[in-house]
Amino acid sequence: MGKKRKISSSENDEPEVEEENQEQEQEQAITSIDQSESNDEVVHVSETKKKKTPGVIYLSRIPNKMNVTIIRSYFDQYGQTGRIYLQLSSK
C-alpha cells in the first residue's frame, strides 16, 4: 500500500470545537434578545386588548333646548355613542 499519514485529532478538532462554541454562544445571545423582545411585545399586546364595556350615563337635568342630536354630538367627541333616550320631566 502507500504511506500512511498520521493525523492528530487534537490539531484538527480544536478549531472546529471553538467555532461550534462561538456559534452556540451567538445563538444563545440571539435567543435571549428574541425572548426579551417577545416579552415586551406580549405585555404591549395585552395592554392594547382591553375590553371595552358599554355603560349607561344618567343625566339628571338637561337644559330645555338640548335634544338627542345635540347630546349625541356632544358625547361623540369622547367616543362612540349608542342609544340615547330622553324622557320628558313630569312637572
**3 pLDDT exceeds 60?**
yes
DSSP 44: H
C-alpha cell at 28: 444563545
Q: How far apart are CA 19 and CA 13, in angstroms?
A: 10
- pLDDT tens per residue across span 36-76: 555 555 556 666 667 777 788 888 888 888 889 999 999 99
> What is the length of the chain?
91
pLDDT band for 21, please (50, 70, 90 cuts): confident
Smallest CA-to-CA distance from 71 within 55, 54, 59 is with: 59
Is the per-residue pLDDT at 25 higher than 90?
no
Write b or e for each residue in 10-19: b if 16 or more Cβ atoms lie within 10 A of its Cβ, otherwise e: eeeeeeeeee
